[in-house]
Structure formats: C-alpha cells, structure tokens
Structure 1
Amino acid sequence: MKRFTTVLAGAMVLVTANVVAVLSGPTAAAAAPTVSAASTTTLTSSGRTAVSYSGLMNGESFQQDGITTFNGWQYTAFWDETGYANISRRQSATGAWQNVRLTDYRTTSTDSHNVICIGISPQDGSIHLAFDMHSDRLKYRRSGTGLATSPAGANWSAASFGAVQNSLAGTAMATVTYPQFFAAPDGTLQMAIRTGVSGNGDEVLYEYNSGSWSYVGEFIDGTSFDNNPYLFGIEYDREGLLHATWTVRETSNGSTNHDLFYAYSRDKGRSWRNNAGTVVATAGSNPLDSNATDLRVWPNSQNRGLMNQESQVVDAAGVVHVLQSHLQANTPSITDFNTARNTAVLVHYWRDKASKVWNQRYLGYTEGLSRGDIAVDSSDNLYIVSGHSGTNVLQIATASKASGWSDWTVRNRSAANYMSDPLIDHNLLKSQNVLSIFAPRRGGSVIEVQNWNTGGR
C-alpha cells in the first residue's frame, strides 16, 4: 500500500538533525589535505561542443561513472564532435590513453543530459555503457567478459563491444534518463535508472549476474505523487549496505526541487529502510514513496535554488556524505531558478552512522549553474571539485576527517578555462589517494584529465 504524504514548505522539525557552524569561506586549519599537481593529459581535442542546460554532453554530475579505475587501469568515455561515443583506457592513471571509437552508432543529440556512463562488472570483467538518452529509449551496450579483469592481454577495439540494445531483461525502456552503475562488495553490478520525465518519474533497479540482466523492480515511486526523485547518488558501503539520497521535484521547473531524502537497503535493493532502520518499502510491490515524511532527513522548501543530482559518497566508516547547493538559511526565497543559483552555495550534509544523526555545514562556495563532485580518500578525508558556470574557474577544496570535516580549505583555483561539471575518479582516490579529475575545457573540444597528489593524513 502506498503512503500518501503532503509536502510541507520546509516547516518540519527533525529530531535527527544537527546544524553546525556556517562557514563564510575557507579556514586556515592545517589538517585539511593538501593537493599538488602531478600531471595533466589531454584526453581529446575533438570533444562535442554543443552547450545546453549550461553544460556539455561530456562532464555532468549524474555520470556514475564518467571516469573510474578498475584493476589498475583507468577508464573514461566521451562524445566526439562528429557524434560518436569513444571509450578510453590507460594503465595506472599515468600511461598513454588508448582510445576506441564506436562508429556503429552516431548521436544527433546536443542535449547535455545524454552523457555516457560506465559500469564494470567485478564478477566477469565486462564493461557496460549506457548513453544518449533524455526521456528517450534506452541505449546500452557491453563488452565481452574479461576485458577489464585481464586488460593487458585483451583486444582493446570496437570489436570487443556488442551491439547497441534498447531493452534490458526483456523490458522495453522507452522513456528513461540518468543511468547509474554501481557494484556491491560481492561483485554484483547493478544499474538504477529513471523512468518517466522531469516532474513525473520513478527510479527502477536492474541487476547483472552470470552474463545477463534481471529486473529487481521500481524502488522509488514518484509518479503516484506527480513528482520525481532526483538521486544525489546510490552507492554501497563496505558492509554491503546500499545508500540512496535524493531530492524531489514537483514539476519540470528546477525551482520546485525540495528537501533531502534518504533510505538504505541490506539486501541489494529488495527491501528498503528509513533513517531509523525500519523496513518501509519493497522494490516492485511497495516502492519507497518519493516524498514520504519518514524518508525526509533535512527540510528545504521550494524556491531555494536547490540543485538536483549534485553528489554523494560513502566513506570507509559507512558515513554517508551528500554535496548539495542552495540558498543559505535565513535568506529570502527566489522563485526564478537561474537567479537563485547566482547566490546559492555549496553545502555538506552527512549522516553519522552510529547515532543516525544528519548534520549540515554551509561551505560558502558558489558555482552558478554548475555542479560539484564530492569524494573521499583512503583516510576518509573529503575532496570537493567544483566549477563555476559564470567564471569558468575550477576549484579544489578539502577537509579532514580529524576535524570532523570542519576545516574546509580551498587548495587550488584554476584560470578561467573550464566548463560543465568536473568528475572525480572515486575508486582511484579511495585506493591510491590520487585525485584524478575529468575536466572539459571551455568550449568543449578539449577534455583534460588532471591528476593531483594528495597530502591526506
């Protein structure tokens, strides 16, 4: 049975919430990790240049993943100017890029939603690509097995990738957006994807095992309430808990984004629990209500310039971190979304695993219509890489676990050369403490991958 709830205008009292000090800018605390430039390579000089929604088809925050490391090799993907998907790899994030151009499918889109997402199956080493869809039919393809588990001896060519498919598990997927791949600790690869459209959609879950996909079911229901959930992220922790956070949009207008919602699963997305740990939903038969009161962990009303789909990461201790951006507290609401974004600031939310208390810290950094990425190193220090749609500056900020992530410090600001959303290689930072950033240059044709050594403690 579905639980029908009413969205209040941010006037909800939460007993599991803790507001911490608001920061107006970087602090001088010494514990925050440092970064030092290691290398910058040009992935391509022929990236797709069309701009829409203030961004490019290469480099958007909802690319999970747009750049990733597996078994000592780094993988990334991009659209070239002629409309072909390219997938590239290199060894140890320092070698020369090896590129495959997939010329059997050509996009005609100039929509920045139509990104390329990469998933890698730890079970059989297959590489999965989902791409080129914005409320459109699925486009998906995968490689043969072993391509990522035995990369040195593999045939890295277009012939290693199968044909484009428009369905999974025999399910027609005619109206989908935002594919997101993620792997469980036992090696099971899964994909979440939105069905429906902005302001009226659901989240569904698929699972890859033994060379084929199966349908787990719808796990967040938005269409029953004429809204849609936008995931900040969906990711496993080391213990095998699957964490999902999202905001809800009531219409296609970004100004109707509101609130932070959270749920987690102990059984790979079959059943779902609220913040208190109570089972409240089952995928397929009784999905999570997108705007349920018992899933709302931080109130934030409409007209606050809240950007959907910024970023989420889970650290080694099981702490869930969410990067949002919206207007600061005690400032007037603004109904025009673009205007609100001019003064919206980055905000760090995190859930203490033991107490289940959610915390909030304003960081004071602005980004216009762009979105940032939050990631964690092997010591659970945090890194935020963010661009700015107005200044075209790329910024790196860090905070230490030792400080309780209170010592946010800007460690680098670039010249005015970049646009769209930067993407962090989360696996490389967690495993080797190397901050690797997919960074499209202004104009879109040149895409860099920057590597930074980190001084985390």
Structure 2
Amino acid sequence: MNKKFLLAISSLVVFITTACAQKLVPVDKAWSNNSVNAVVFRQNSLVTQADTQFIAYYTTEGKLALGKRNINDDKFTINQTDFSGNVKDAHNCISIMVDGDGYLHVSWDHHGHPLRYAKSVAPYSLELGPKTEMTGQNETNVTYPQFFKMPNGNLIFMFRDGQSGQGNLVLNSYDVKTQKWSQIQSNLIDGEGQRNAYWQACLDHKGVIHVSWVWRETWDVSTNHDMCYARSKDGGVTWENSKGEAYRLPINAASAEYAAKIPQKSELINQTSMTTNGNGEPVIASYWREQDSDIPQFHIISLVDGKWIVKDLGFRKEAFSLSGGGTKRIPISRPQIVAKSTKKGTVYYLVFRDEERGAKVSVAELKPSGKVKITDLTDFTVGSWEPSFDTELWKDKGMLQIFVQRVEQVDAEGTADFEPQMVYVLEVK
C-alpha cells in the first residue's frame, strides 16, 4: 500500500438496508483483529463541520488514516498519513475534532505514552502537520485522549495522566484565535495515589462541561465503584456539583458528589457516555448488576428536579462477570446515549451491542412514559464493536451517524486472527 493515497470509493458504494431501513456507507477495509478502531471512548471517530464529515481509523497495517466527504455524498476521500499506532493494544485509539476554523485535530496511540498530537495544515485538509506537544505539561504518560468543541469553536482536550488505579484527569483548552493550547487543569479529579477516575463527559448547548466518573481502586475492573458528577460553566476553570456548590480542586473521593452509590464487584463498567436533556440536566448511561441479581443491566442515571434518579432498563437475560485487567471481551458493549426533546418530554436513545441479540448494532428507545423499545439497526453481527458517533452532527442537525466495523477482541489485550473488515458510516433514519 502506498504511503499516501486518495481513494474514490464510488465503485464500492452500496446501500445496505436492514429491517428498519438504515443506510450503511462503506469507507475502507481496516484493522479488525481487536477493537482499537471501535472502542466506546473514541471522542470522536466521526466529526462534521458545516457540510464536511471527517473519519479516522487504523489501516490493516496500523497506519493512521483520515477521510472526509460531503455529508450529502457517499464518497469518502482517504489519506493514509505517515503516522502509525500500536494497534495490538485496543486502548490506543484515534480521537479527532474540528475546531471552529475548520482545522482537524488528531490524537492517537496512547496507553501510558508521551502525547501524540497533530493538526491539519489547512482548514478541511486531510494533510497533517508534524507531531507536536500541546502545552508541554503532563504529556509523558497519556491515556484516553478526548476532544470536545465549545460553542465558540474552541476545543477542550481531556486525558488521563498516570495509570489505572493511580491517575489524574488533565484538561487543556485550545483558542482558535491564537491557535494555541493552554492547560486549564493539571489534576481535575485526584486519585490521591490510591485510585483513578474513569470518566465520560459532554458539552451542552450552552457550553457547560459535564463530567461523570466511576472510581477504580486497582488495575482490576471489578474494583470499579460508584458514579460521581461535576460541571463547569466557564470552560473548565471552576467546577461545581449539581446543586451549584463550588468544588475545591482537585476533586477527590471525599469531596465528590455521588449520583449513584454502586459497590465494588457489581460488574460496573467504566468509560461509557453521557448527555443532557433539553433543560441542560445531565444524563449518564452505564451498566452494572444490582445486588439482588446476577444479570448486568443497562442503566440511565439522570438529574430530575435536583434529585438523581436511576432507571434500570431491565431487558437483558444473561449473566456475566467482569474481573481482571486489559481490554476485556465482554458480551455487551458499553453504551452511547443521545437525547431528543419532544412535546411529551425527552426521548433517550441508547446505542449498544449485545450477544443476546446476535451482537448487532441495536438501539433502546426510552420514552417519557418509561416504556423501552429495542430495535436492531443492522442485520449482521459486529463482533466486539462498541458505539461511537458524530456528536457534532447530532448537535447541529439532529442526525445520528455511527462508526461501524466488525471487530474481534480477545480477552485481556490479545489479538484475533481475523481478516480486515469494512468500516461503515451507519446513517440512522
């Protein structure tokens, strides 16, 4: 394969229709021997600015590939960059975002590594400049890079500094006017050398940053516990709880607000997703096992009139257990959640994969009445895939488009002997 290439895939464009009339747009065959291209904490795998949608993935050889299309077209132009990643470690995903001026920002290949970050050479370009630092601070032991875009076009970048069980949450900010990064928080959530926070975050329509997290005491996933919450109304400088009470930073286990108390060994997963409803109130999606049950269920935790409410969706039938380290092979995916306001209230859509349903791309629709409707969005298995979606397209146009690729994850960071699989964009009707 050439180092750089442009691929017009018009000859490959197909419209695969499932029972619920979704559309799959093919992109390229890519690495699928583990879930590195399809982990839930990619922020983002897809991102749209104006009418241009970008995508990122690792090729079959582990090269960082970038693509773009007009959102109304079904042809992606692909550029294989000079950069590569250790694709055998499923933590080492690619995260992208486009700033308000149209520059593409990319971070990739981290699991306790020095920062890998680059920016496009021009607005809407697939050509990246050299790998560079952001601020030079806390950039030697990076994991879980995630971008978020503020309403004014500036960016927020979050990552873990440290390791599982002993890590801190760092927050950087990018100013489109100066084109420079600054470090807003070097240690927003402090594990105090005894634990670390596995977070999920979102920005609402006013630019409020919402963060929730579980604590993990050791490298073992079974030591995950509880769900905590914080928000910032000034771009990450100051933080408060849901009652508007200011946090003294860094936040730790003693000072954190607990949205839900969940014991260790509850099959509580880390790094899921969150959103807000039309009133800007936080909504968190996760899964765990209630103490009187052996079956982990998807849950939604929401703030309603100042009180935290936990909804057990309760539709799963099969038990499983979480323990150990590394990337686990789990029969269900971690969920993504989006919200839509209607005249009758907020409707939530939980996107997931479950082997009970043939490991397809599925969505659970939670209506204001409390009724849950489940629909499969594909008619084929996606293996060990987890959902990520175009957050900016959903915010701006209410269009849900999901990164889909069948991948196979071997338990505890192994790699499968599996042929390259097609990357798709699933356009949900």
Same fold (TM over 0.5): yes
- Distance in 2 of aligned mates of 1:111 and 1:365: 32
2:303 is aligned with what amino acid?
R
Contact 1:275 1:297 in 2 (8 A): no
1:372 is aligned with what amino acid?
P
Q: What secondary structure, in the 3-state scheme, does the structure 2 residue paired with 1:292 have?
A: coil
Contact 1:59 1:422 in 2 (8 A): yes
Corresponding residue of 2:137? 171
Q: Is 1:381 matched with 2:347?
A: yes
1:117 is aligned with what amino acid?
S
CA RMSD of aligned residues (A): 2.1
Corresponding residue of 1:96? 75
Q: Which runs of 5+ in 2 are unaligned?
A: 1-18, 317-329, 408-417
**Among 206, 212, 216, which residue is 1:245 paired with?**
212
Contact 1:218 1:287 in 2 (8 A): no
Deviation for aligned residue 1:225: 4.4
Against the structure 1 CA distance between its residues 434 and 309, is the aligned structure 2 distance closer, same or farther, given a 3 Å change threshold?
same
Corresponding residue of 1:364? 314
1:365-402 Cα offsets, whole Å, 9 max, x none, are 447252121112464532111113674222122123x4
Corresponding residue of 1:200? 166
Q: What secondary structure, in the 3-state scheme, does the structure 1 residue paired with 2:222 have?
A: helix
Against the structure 1 CA distance between its residues 344 and 416, is the aligned structure 2 distance closer, same or farther, given a 3 Å change threshold?
farther
- Distance in 2 of aligned mates of 1:434 and 1:36: 16
1:201 is aligned with what amino acid?
G
Deviation for aligned residue 1:191: 0.3
- Point out which structure has higher relative CO (alpha carbons under 8 A, 6+ apart): 1
- Distance in 2 of aligned mates of 1:325 and 1:119: 27
Contact 1:378 1:429 in 2 (8 A): no
**Among 291, 300, 307, which residue is 2:262 paired with?**
300
Corresponding residue of 2:31? 48
Deviation for aligned residue 1:317: 2.0
Contact 1:378 1:432 in 2 (8 A): no
Alignment of 1:242-321 (within 5 A): 242-281=209-248, 286-289=249-252, 291-321=253-283
Deviation for aligned residue 1:224: 1.3
- Distance in 1 of aligned mates of 2:241 and 2:70: 41
Q: TM-score, normalised by structure 1?
A: 0.78
Aligned length: 380
Deviation for aligned residue 1:237: 1.7
Which range is displaced more, 185-194 or 92-101?
92-101
**Among 17, 20, 23, which residue is 1:39 paired with?**
23
Alignment of 1:14-413 (within 5 A): 36-45=20-29, 47-51=30-34, 56-92=35-71, 94-102=73-81, 104-122=82-100, 124-147=101-124, 156-158=125-127, 161-165=128-132, 167-171=133-137, 173-209=139-175, 210-231=178-199, 233-281=200-248, 286-289=249-252, 291-331=253-293, 343-352=295-304, 355-366=305-316, 368-377=331-340, 379=342, 380-388=346-354, 391-400=358-367, 402-403=368-369, 406-412=370-376
- Distance in 2 of aligned mates of 1:349 and 1:384: 12
Deviation for aligned residue 1:328: 2.6
Aligned-residue identity in percent: 25
Stretches of 4+ moved more than 4 A in 1? Answer: none
Corresponding residue of 1:425? 390
Deviation for aligned residue 1:247: 0.5
Contact 1:377 1:429 in 2 (8 A): no
- Distance in 2 of aligned mates of 1:112 and 1:48: 11
1:109-140 Cα offsets, whole Å, 9 max, x none, are 41111110012111x22110010011111111
Corresponding residue of 1:437? 402
